[in-house]
Structure formats: C-alpha cells, structure tokens
Amino acid sequence: MAMADQPAGKSFRLSMLLYDTRYRSMTIQIIMLAAFIAGVAWLLDNMYANLAAANKNPDFTFLSAPAGYDINQRLVEYTSQSTNARAWLVGLLNTLLVAFLGCIIATVIGISVGVLRLSKNWIVARLMTVYIEIFRNVPVLLWIAFLNAILSETLPQPKDFKGEDAEATMSLWNTVIISNRGVFIPEPVFLSGSAIMLYVFIASIVAIFAFGRWASKDQETTGRILPTFWIKLAILIVPTLIVYFVMGQPVDWILPAFEGRGAFDANGEPYTKGIFRIDADSGINIRRSLIALCLALSLYTAAFIAEAVRAGIMAINKGQSEAAGALGLRQNRVMSLVVLPQALRVIIPPLISQYLNLTKNSSLAIAVGYMDVTGTLGGITLNQTGRALECILLLMITYLTISLSISMVMNIYNNSVKLKER
C-alpha cells in the first residue's frame, strides 16, 4: 500500500523513490529507460561481436567507390563512374519526386472524390463509391503493374510516328511526344538574363502568399470575397512574362525529335542510318515507369483520402450548412468557406498517415524499373558491394528522415487549423 505524501520539511530518504507518490512514477520511468538502453546496448554489442567473428566489420567506405551502373531517370548529373553516394542521392531525389507529385495528385483527387461521394446525385455518388472500393481493395503493387501495362500497350510506339502516313503525331504544336517510352517535353536552356526572370518568378510566389493572407483578413473584416484564384494566377504569370520579353527571351527550348532512317535532324537533313527512334538527347523524358508509379500511388491513396474527407464533412453539423444556405451562400461557397475549414481538423490526422503510406509505398518502384532509393542503395549497390547491413541501415535512416519530415510539416499545419479556444 502506498504511503501518503510526506509532510513538508521532512528529510528525503531512498525509500521515498518507491513509496512516495511524488517520486514513484519518475522512478519507474527511469528504470524502464535504463533497461531499454541496456537491452539495445546488448544487442549492438552482440551484433558487432558476430560481425567481427565473420570478418564483416561495418564499413561505409564503399560509398566513395564508383557505382558502375546507370540510372535511367535522374534529376542531377550522374554517370556510371559516379560514386555510390551519388547514386544514393539520385535515388533519394527520385523517391522525393514520386512522393511530392503523388501527395499533390492524391490530395486533389481524394478531396474531389470525397466531396462527390456525398453528392445528392445518385449516379455520381455511386460511381465514386465504386472507385473507392475498387482501388482500396486491390494491392497497390498490382495497380502499379496494371497501369504500367496499360501505358505500354495503349500508347503509340516510336515507329508509329514515322512517315507521311504516320499513325501517331506529336502533340501541342509538335512540341510534345507521347509514346510508350514516356512523355518527351521541351527542355529549357537558360541564357543570359534568365537569373533575373527566376528572381521575379520567386518574388511572384512570395507575393501570392502575401496576397492570400491579405485577402483572408479582408474577407474576415469586410465580408468582401475577391476572385483570389484569378488574381493569384495573374501575379504568378504576368510579371514573369513581362520580364521574359523585356529581357529578350532569355530562355531557349530544346524540342523533342526523332532520329534514324525516316527522320530529320535539326538542320532539316534526313537521317540515312540507324533505327527510327526518339532522340534521347532532345527534350526531357518523363519515363513511363514514373508516370505509371505516380498514377498508381495517387489513385490508390486518393481512395483512402476520400474516405477521410467524407468522414470529416459528415462530422460537421448539418445546421452549419443550412445556416450558410439561409444566408444566401451557394453550395460551392458553403463547402469551401464553412464545411471544409471545420472538417480539416478531422481530415488532417489521417491525411498525414496516407502521405506517409504513399511515400513508403514508393519503394515498390523497382517493379516497373523506376530507380528510386530502394532500387539504387537497397538494390544494385547492395548486391555489388555485399554491404547488406550498411545499405539497409542507411535505407532505413533515409525513409525515417523523410517520414519524420512529412509528419513535422503536417503537424505544424494541423496546429494552425485546429480550433482556437479562449
């Protein structure tokens, strides 16, 4: 039986750490922490002893050795003679690219589907229900493979663009090639004066956020609703376009093109040798594997986000929307100004989990040949160097850092939208 709290002024005794309620909980926590640290230390010591016995002491010098393999999709310069650390960086950037694009696309689709599932139109609501049930009840790996096969079989091959009677043509005024090898878009070449245009573009983005904050405060004080979307779009585009023409068009473009027999080079001369194919050095290639992976992860995750959105909207009392409707607000205004801002407090916590799931599911990219950090550091580098422990440890730290960063950013946003009480 626990003793009562000791009277004030009585000297401290060691027995109070167990029998005094003021100290007992802290004593138990310290003991558990010490036991945990001792257990981890024992495991690490045992691991190092076994590795030393097998002559496999941890060594990370392999990161400075040449990688010896190519990476088909990369955001920074890389060759087969680059180091394994460089390959790790390229794979990491590829993972971040998929995570960033996937989270944005999944959020847009998820919110739209979640709202439409509550539509009074029976057909629309049922179609959204079918979409959600189909995507979230089939493993995401199968969706990745399925969409990759769809793109491979339905999009035209390079040979379909050949000749006057070609079955396929380039898109957007002959500036984009959409094929089963990927989507080739123009590649920008920055000339003298392009830095000024970049600074203006960054300033426009800052101005958009500043205008958004001002518009929100103005709406709260005056009730005036401005067409913020079109104003923000003008702030983003107009200043940059003005500087672009004033500076004499400091950005040039390398357009995608074909090479080989039946194609023409940059001077208009026909190629007479080689197989007809897309010129790998012309334009930016958004590979089919990247498109399939982003689409599959986005559509799969959006099904779960849609359910979180639906739950958040249904958590708001119907009297809120009825009162807004009685004031004369249109249905879309009721949803964007009254319902969704309150529903965010319910939506964001599960939304964080879905972002983390999407990021970790991107490790399935190797199924379609997309070289993310799992395919580089945890795949080819591991197999070539034989440093399984080091590679897996670095891979775990990489995903842990990414996940904790996403959680931190989303928790900051969650705190900003939570209900402020007096």
**How far apart, in Å, are the Cα atoms of 402 and each of 99, 305, 335?**
10, 20, 33
**What is the reported pTM?**
0.84
pLDDT at residue 10 in the model: 63
Predicted confidence (pLDDT) at residue 2 exceeds the cutoff of 50: no
pLDDT at residue 345 in the model: 86
pLDDT in tens, 212-259: 889 888 877 887 878 888 999 999 999 999 999 888 888 888 888 887
- Which residues are 171's β-sheet partners? 176
Position 160 confidence tier, pLDDT thresholds 50, 70, 90? confident
pLDDT at residue 360 in the model: 95
CB within 8 A of 3, min separation 6: which ones?
Answer: 19, 20
| Helical pair 340-361 and 288-314, crossing angle rounded to 10 deg | 150
pLDDT at residue 39 in the model: 94
Please, are residues 228 and 336 in contact by the beta-carbon 8 Å criterion? no
pLDDT in tens, 70-81: 998 888 999 999
First-residue to last-residue Cα distance in the chain = 41
pLDDT in tens, 4-25: 454 555 677 777 777 777 777 7
Predicted confidence (pLDDT) at residue 302 exceeds the cutoff of 60: yes
pLDDT at residue 1 in the model: 43
Q: What is the mean pLDDT of residues 388-416?
A: 92
Range in 31-40, 212-221, 350-359, 406-415 the model is least confident about: 212-221
pLDDT at residue 208 in the model: 93
Q: How far, rounded to the nearest angstrom, does the alpha carbon of residue 92 sit from its chain's CA centroid?
A: 12
User: How many residues in total does the chain contain?
Assistant: 422
User: E-strand spans in 279-415?
Assistant: 284-287
pLDDT at residue 319 in the model: 84
Name which residue leads in pLDDT, 89 or 44: 89
pLDDT at residue 55 in the model: 79
pLDDT at residue 337 in the model: 78
Position 154 confidence tier, pLDDT thresholds 50, 70, 90? very high
Q: What is the mean pLDDT of residues 170-194?
A: 88
Please, are residues 271 and 262 in contact by the beta-carbon 8 Å criterion? yes
Average pLDDT of the chain, as a whole number: 87
Q: Which of the 8 DSSP states describes residue 161?
A: G
pLDDT at residue 83 in the model: 95
Where is mean pLDDT largest: 230-234, 294-298, 321-325?
A: 294-298
DSSP secondary structure, 348-375, as one string = HHHHHHHHHHHHHHGGGGGGGT---HHH
Range in 130-139, 214-223, 262-271, 362-371 the model is least confident about: 262-271
Q: How far, rounded to the nearest angstrom, does the alpha carbon of residue 326 sit from its chain's CA centroid?
A: 40
